[in-house]
Amino acid sequence: MGDRAVGPLVTRLLVALAAAALVTACSLVEALTYRAAPLGTVLLPMVVLIVGAGVAPFVPALGVLAAVVSFPVQVFGVPDSPGVGGTALVTMMVLIAYGALRLPPRWSALGAALAALGAAASIVVDGESVFEFVFFAATMGGAWTLGWLLRRERRRGRELRELAAALAAERERSGRLAVVEERARISRELHDAVAHTVSVMTLQVGVVRRRLDDTPEGDVLRTVEELGRRSVDELRRVVGALRERPDDCPDADALGPAPSLARLDGLVEELGGVGLRVRVHQEGEPVALAPAMDTSAYRIVAEALTNVLRHAAVDEAEVVVAYRPGLVALTVLDRGRGTGHDDAEPDGAGGHGLLHLHERATLFGGTLDAGPREGGGFRVHAELPLGAAPVAVAGGVTGAVTGA
């Protein structure tokens, strides 16, 4: 608290001392040029402005008040004064501008008007022409306008900083929500896979248990079977809760078969129906992936192709599924505009596609790279480690599929 309170206070104190010293020094220099007038008659009227310059950083209204009364004090309070000097005029203008910067516009404008009227009236009464009203209206009005413009720009700058901070916070929150939503979706898929696996294990245990009835081993297997069935029931309840959605946020995959790389043909056909032709190439010998990894691999390809459809402004894309020793590599290529597909403002789920892909890849210890291609276009490349002992399968992704 001490640092925050003392810092601005010390700064204002230094500004006040510097302003008062500057006005005093300029007044002395100006006074020494008036050879025919005593020094006191020149400096005495400036005391009001010197005090005003010293207190304005703390109380801007007192600075404006000093500008209002300075010329009447000079003309009527010190009749022997040699007249209005340039230092007094410049100091008045600075005080009016500073008041317009710090005070509400209606009060600072009133102060500027009173300063112009009081100065002009005092000089006209002292024998000058009525043109002084025009002169002081222009000078004080110009000073007030400058201060008001600075005030407006400072307010706008503050509003822009607040807006930028709010947008940054909203973007960060939106990104966190996108990650959370994708993790929840992955959790549902993992629960599906685990529930299926436990169900199969429980059925197999039941088969063995029936062969070993009335034996100690059969009793142990009966307990294992009961625990397995309980686990399946619990998993189904959890999966049911995770699958619940608001009416306005349906999930097309909730009731269909689990997504898989083996279903890429259907994805290609679906995208072809909306104008995106996709060529799918397979490299290497296909292997059976774990259900959760298979689903995530499909999701990575589908999300990348969705980004191509939404943001790349092309009607062709290429997918390469490469089975390599210990990993499966997924590459989606296009010849679009060559910038990040998610550079646009977030538009629902599409605005965080790369976040989704990254979550999918890192879930299995994999990596994901996305960026412009040489010569134009965009490339998304993911590598998923297969883990221990992948099993070769006869079928797999078709060698080349073209969307209709």
pLDDT at 244 over 60: no
Cα 129 from Cα 122, distance rounded (Å): 11
Which H helix or E strand runs over 361?
Answer: helix 353-363
The Cβ of residue 183 has, within 10 Å, a number of other Cβ atoms equal to 14
Q: Which amino acid is at 280?
A: V
Cα 227 from Cα 266, distance rounded (Å): 38
Q: How confident is the model over 278-330, as pLDDT tens digits?
A: 999 999 888 888 877 888 888 888 888 888 877 777 888 999 999 998 889 99
Place of tokens 């230094």: 14
Mean local confidence (pLDDT), 160-185? 80
Q: Which of 311, 308, 323 is nearest to 267 (CA)?
A: 308
Ramachandran region of residue 378, left (φ > 0), alpha (ψ -120 to 50) or beta?
beta
Q: How confident is the model over 321-371, as pLDDT tens digits?
A: 999 988 899 999 988 765 444 443 333 333 456 777 887 788 788 899 988
| DSSP code of residue 351 | G
Confidence of residue 236 (pLDDT cuts 50, 70, 90): low
46 and 23 Cβ atoms separated by less than 8 Å: yes
Looking at the whole model, is its pTM more than 0.75? no
pLDDT of residue 332: 92
* Cβ neighbours for 293, distance < 8 A, ≥ 6 positions apart: 364, 384, 386
pLDDT of residue 239: 60
Angle in degrees, 0-180, between the axes of helices 291-307 and 264-273, rounded to the nearest 10:
20
Q: How confident is the model over 359-402, as pLDDT tens digits?
A: 778 878 889 998 888 878 889 999 999 864 344 443 444 333 33
pLDDT of residue 11: 85
Average per-residue pLDDT for the chain: 76
Helix (H/G/I), strand (E/B), else coil: 386 = coil
pLDDT of residue 400: 37
Confidence of residue 89 (pLDDT cuts 50, 70, 90): confident
pLDDT of residue 357: 81
CA distances from 305 to 65, 267, 308, 330 (A): 69, 9, 5, 12
Helix (H/G/I), strand (E/B), else coil: 367 = strand
Q: If 0-12 CB within 10 Å is exposed, 13-18 middle and 19+ buried, where does residue 367 land?
A: middle
Cα 133 from Cα 211, distance rounded (Å): 115
